Amino acid sequence: MTETPETRAARAVDETRLWDRLMTMASYGALANGGVNRQALSPEDVAARRRMKRWADARGFQVTTDGIGNLFVRRPGSDPEAAPVMTGSHMDSQPTGGKFDGIYGVLAGLEALCALEDAGVATRRPIEVVAWTNEEGSRFRPGVMGSSVFAGRLALDDALGVADGDGITVASALAEVRAAETDIPVRDMGGPVASYIEAHIEQGPVLEAAGKTVGVVTGIQGIRWFDVEVTGREDHAGTTPLKTRKDALKAATGIVTALGRALADPDDVVRFTVGRFEAFPGAPSTVPGRVVFTIDLRHPDGATIERLSAAIAKTSVVEAAGCEVAVRETMNAAPTIFPDEMVATVRRHAEALEISHLELPSGAGHDAMNMHGLCPTGMVFIPCENGISHNEAEAATPGDCAAGARVLTACLTDLANR
Ligand SMILES: [Zn+2]
């Protein structure tokens, strides 16, 4: 291995320190089955933020926050005028989440800063680790909230006005966080960013199946959501002959089956999910007069997702079986394609560090979607056991966590010297 500032910093990544920090963070909101419930801006989130602040203070890194509660840890560069390179992810979790989703990217970023310190490697640009507020969207909707506000895609006031299930707004939850963080200065929203690179567990099975340690992420697949409403006619289940019925449930199941055929993909890249399916009035002796169901469609290619969306609309109407069908799109997030140069940077440093790697698109959405467009953006994945995530059983190995942090550290060192 050739000695460069990148490899020197990467080699200073401390596997034990990173793992111990992951386990410490997992204690904030720990659940009985090994998982974590750490909702955005909750007392558990505050505990994690205080912990982050103490680790940063111990190394002399500067900690700031902004109007939506994003938390920043900064290691200065030699050029005080230069825009920072940013890295990070989120500290909030699903209600029954795992120990690694999100928090891994934040702690891998902190580990990179510590490794740079330990290796005595200076960079021209500052490097900032960010913990984005409310990525999961489980307490406050929508998700990726902090990065959306930072990137100017969501107005701060709109985000602050969002309420959780108990009617507590982001603004009032944030006020409580602030009360615990009087030692953290509040900075202006947004600002120039030279580049952004996020580390995350894959949340899928590809790396593990291929026996690779690091994922070089090429982009994030597009997501489309649809609500489908099938309207038939309520009738008496005992007296109405089958041939005169307009059974909305029968039509809806026919549509779902036909969609499964229309969207069939021998390469298994298309993601098609009916996650909610409700029949009304939901009485045993009444023919269902109305069915509503949701479709979640994902694909990394923009033209393909466009074609499949058109197929959904067409198939739903063709298979209506005498009922009326309305298809309404409720979300359309175009695929993210990371710039070649960012993908190449991750690949180059994985190669230089002799860490096995594989290029793949992300199946899940991430804060990186928001940074893409603001600055050159990329991602680094590590495997998670059996591809399981958003589950208390989520698991990753100390060695893979460290390997991902090494690639991240090398990338950050490189990007911060450009
Ligand atoms: Zn995540």
Query: DSSP assignment of 338-404, as one string?
Result: --HHHHHHHHHHHHHTT--EEEEEESS--THHHHBTTB-EEEEEE--GGG--SSTT----HHHHHHH
With beta carbons less than 8 A apart as the criterion, state whether 78 and 413 touch.
no
With contact defined as beta carbons under 8 Å apart, do 244 and 287 qualify? no
Work out the number of other CB atoms within 10 angstroms of the CB of residue 233. 16
- For the question of whether the overall pTM of this predicted structure is more than 0.75, the answer is yes
Distance CA 286, CA 289 (A): 8
Q: What is the CA(64)–ligand 1 centre distance, in A?
A: 22
Give residue 364 CA to ligand 1 midpoint distance, Å: 8
Of 252, 236, 255, 253, residue with least CA distance to 244: 236
Q: Ligand 1 centroid vs 307 CA: distance in angstroms? A: 29
Centre of ligand 1 to C-alpha 146, Å, is 13
Residues 6+ apart with CB under 8 A from 67: 149, 156, 160, 186, 189
User: What is the model's pLDDT at position 1?
Assistant: 67
Kindly state the helix (H) or strand (E) to which residue 129 belongs, with its residue range.
strand 127-132
d(Cα 65, Cα 137) in Å, to the nearest integer?
A: 20
CB of 358 closer than 8 Å to CB of 206: yes
Q: Ligand 1: distance of its center to the CA of 107 in Å? A: 13
Max CA distance (Å), the chain: 83
How confident is the model at residue 201, as a pLDDT? 98
CA of 280 to the centre of ligand 1 (A): 35
Taking CA atoms, 301 is separated from 105, 218, 220, 332, 361, in Å, by 26, 12, 10, 13, 10
Closest CA to 1 of 349, 284, 330: 349
Other CB atoms within a 10 A radius of the CB of residue 372 amount to 22
Residue keyed to tokens 């200076």:
122
| Token pair 């209600």: residue | 95
- Residues 6 or more apart whose CB falls under 8 angstroms from that of 35 comprise 93, 96, 97, 98, 99, 391, 392, 393, 394
| pLDDT at position 142 | 87
Question: What's the pLDDT score for residue 333?
Answer: 87
Residue 222 · residue 305 · CB < 8 Å: yes
- CA 200 to ligand 1 centroid distance, Å: 7
Beta-carbon neighbour count of residue 107 at 10 Å? Answer: 29
Q: How far is the CA of 299 from the centre of ligand 1 (A)?
A: 19
List the pLDDT tens digit at each of the 418 positions of the chain: 679 999 999 999 999 999 999 999 999 999 999 999 999 999 999 999 999 999 999 999 999 999 999 999 999 999 989 999 999 999 999 999 999 999 999 999 999 999 999 999 999 999 999 999 999 999 998 899 999 999 999 999 999 999 999 999 999 999 999 999 999 999 999 999 999 999 999 999 999 999 999 999 999 999 999 999 999 999 999 999 999 999 999 999 999 999 999 999 999 999 999 999 999 999 999 999 999 999 999 999 999 999 999 999 999 999 999 999 999 998 888 999 999 999 999 999 999 999 999 999 999 999 999 999 899 999 999 999 999 999 999 999 999 999 999 999 999 999 999 9
What residue ranges define each of the domains in the chain, with the CATH number in brackets? 5-221+335-415 (3.40.630.10), 222-333 (3.30.70.360)
Measured distance CA(386)–CA(397) in Å, rounded: 12
SS3 234: coil
Tokens of 65: 């926050």
Distance between CA atoms of 41 and 49, rounded to whole angstroms? Answer: 10
Distance between Cα 223 and ligand 1 center (Å): 16
Dig out the tokens for 149 from the structure.
Answer: 């506000």
Task: Return the closest-CA partner of residue 200 out of 6, 394, 393, 24.
Answer: 394
Cα–Cα distances in Å, from 316 out to 258, 319, 324, 366? 8, 5, 10, 30
Q: Ligand 1 centre from 335 Cα, in Å?
A: 17
Ligand 1 centre to CA of 7 (Å) is 27
Strand partners, 9: none
| Tokens linked to 269 | 């890249």
Which residues are within 8 A (CB) of 220 and not within 5 positions of it... i.e. 6 or more apart? Answer: 300, 335, 336, 361, 362, 364, 365, 366, 368, 369, 372, 379
Q: How far is the CA of 253 from the centre of ligand 1 (A)?
A: 33
Ligand 1 centroid to Cα of residue 15, in Å, is: 21
Spacing, Cα 370 to ligand 1 middle (Å):
14
List the shell of residues around ion ligand 1, using CB closer than 5 Å.
101-102
**Residue in the block written with tokens 């825009």:** 83
* Distance from residue 201's CA to the centre of ligand 1 (Å): 8
